[in-house]
A and B are shown apart, each in its own frame.
Chain A
């Protein structure tokens, strides 16, 4: 090869690599850290990622943010807290993402929430609903969320119970962290509503018979049972009710939207409990369009709400980056806590969704009351749910 040709090729190669590096430096990296394979919640994680990717496509197609394109780095934590913590450090320290989405399981967020707070990188949750995830631990709080919130669910259910006029609400919970947390929320909020929740019973996750606990509730005159447990034991609870022919009204956690509940309770009994979801079916044009784009890749259409939350999570982060004028973590956090422009998302348009004290984009007023009907989830519209207003939700 002649010297000239060689030098020219070297120059082109150098220019190409500098250009690629420059483009890469121009890209804004976002991270996802959640379960995509291990637990039953994995389908929610996968659905969420679809939503995030759809939003990134839309933003990039419109030119990116200030000319910079968004990319997504995905890490599967397999529902395990140690792996989730490792992923978090890797995403922030090695991949240098400017924001992290996830996790799928609330327990994992509780395990790593100190990392985004320490490293000053925003975390926008879009699936896990554990109340304490977005609670501040003193100092600046980098944990935000646009998804279901457990305490908000309880607020909604207790408001329903109050409006429906139940005289005695029996509380049941499974003896796990999830159940204990839910029970605490239920007791506190029921007190605010002035409901009689003196009867409290517990059961283990693997129990198949709760007739004794239910008989006690029956003897105490309980006319509505609020239960906080995972899908399978909630289903077994319904079976036990059938055994003793005792059918009080049932208010449940959103674990009842899982197919494990439907399987355990059977078609007929699954229709009894009322619970809340962030949304039921695609209702506005944006949601319908998103549904058409992603439905081929969704493992189950019931996981679509998480696709919507993933989409909106990206929109909120993009708005924060625009307002902050860059990807500096502290500026992004400050921007999120005081978003000046409304953010158009798939679920709704967000007007100042966050504040210094409140890092939840969605609350009880956004949620829908649902139940199973003929094998699929449907919105409830009975007189009680229709008459509830935002003022009724005490928390």
Chain B
């Protein structure tokens, strides 16, 4: 049973790394603009399709092809696809900010919720019109031979995702806490008026946050596609779980979000070992429990509203 436990831990960590990346995306926008991108899930799906389309084009196939067949794109194409996914999604994030967030941010009411949700629906519909509903199997950059460590198996793409999310987490943590840019972002979140008085370009910070968060979504989609198949619906579940992970870990703490993601993933795997049909119940019961005792998440800082 120890092997089963170990397998559950590793598989859970792999699944959790996807949630962690998504959670991080939510955290970035929230930390800077105090708004959330509720279409983050759709950005993940769109990122996956962006990467897939570049891979198809590199092989000389049309972007609406349904299968790679036996053709394996080379590493250069994979890197190009990754770049495309991140850049295009980042640009889309900018568009989202201009159209869906800036008109509504910092105004009373929560219209940005509706506008980001609506943006996501538009994105999904456009995607459906171009690529259709059928999921596409995307070859990963490291192939698909099962890697065996200490008697447990893991797919190379899952290992890649795990590695990348840890690197990204360390990077973000460093940026947010130790660099001037990070301090500026946190200042803008706290009080944009004063921040701009201090010489921080508030608009650039906010746009930057959305661009970075959406680029992260593109990265998540690109990494997730070889495991879960590129589908316009893949972002839905991962978006919801990622958001829950962010809430559990603390929306305004990058480290916390990522840890929340891993905790959620591993918990899912462990509950599978006990009784898989109660999994969703167990996960969301945990989320509610954590929020009941610590409303800003396990690692979030308490929000203090100065009156």
Contact = CB atoms under 8 A, between A and B. Distances in A.
Interface in B13-67: 14-15, 67
Contact of B11 (A203, A211, A264, A266): A211
A378 interface: no
A243 interface: yes
B8 interface: yes
Contact of B234 (A40, A206, A242, A266): A206
B138 to A, nearest CB: 10
Contacts of B280: 204
Given A212-B7, A232-B229, A175 B152 contact: no
A46 B160 CA distance: 41
Given A209-B269, A263-B67, A215 B4 contact: yes
Interface string A224-262: 000000001000000100111100000000000001100
Interface string B196-235: 0000000000000000000000000000000111000010
B153 A245 contact: yes
B153 A242 contact: yes
Nearest to B279: A204
B276 A212 contact: yes
Interface string B90-119: 000000000000000000000000000000
B137 A264 contact: yes
B277 A212 contact: no
B191 interface: no
B1 A219 contact: yes
A-B complex: 4 closest residue pairs judged by Cβ atoms: A243-B153, A212-B272, A215-B4, A263-B137
A interface residue count range (under 10 / 10 to 19 / 20 to 34 / 35 or more): 20 to 34
Contact of A40 (B134, B227, B279): B134
Contacts of A206: 228, 234, 237
Interface in A157-187: 175
A218 B137 CA distance: 29
Given A212-B272, A216-B273, A263 B229 contact: yes
Contacts of B144: 266
B257 to A, nearest CB: 21
A223 interface: no
B149 to A, nearest CB: 11
Given A202-B276, A242-B146, A212 B11 contact: yes
Given A212-B7, A216-B4, A243-B146, A260 B135 contact: yes
Nearest to A262: B137
B8 A211 contact: yes
A202 B277 contact: yes
Interface of B: 1, 3-4, 7-8, 11, 14-15, 67, 133-137, 144, 146, 148, 152-155, 227-229, 234, 237, 269-270, 272-273, 276-277, 279-280
Contacts of B7: 211-212, 215, 243-244
Contacts of B134: 40, 260
Nearest to B136: A263
Given A212-B11, A212-B272, 16 more contacts: A40-B134, A206-B234, A209-B269, A211-B269, A212-B4, A212-B273, A215-B3, A215-B273, A218-B4, A243-B11, A243-B146, A243-B152, A260-B134, A263-B67, A264-B137, A264-B229
Contacts of A11: none
B76 to A, nearest CB: 24
A242 B144 CA distance: 11
Nearest to A212: B272
Contacts of A259: 67
Contacts of B276: 201-203, 212-213
Contacts of B228: 206, 208
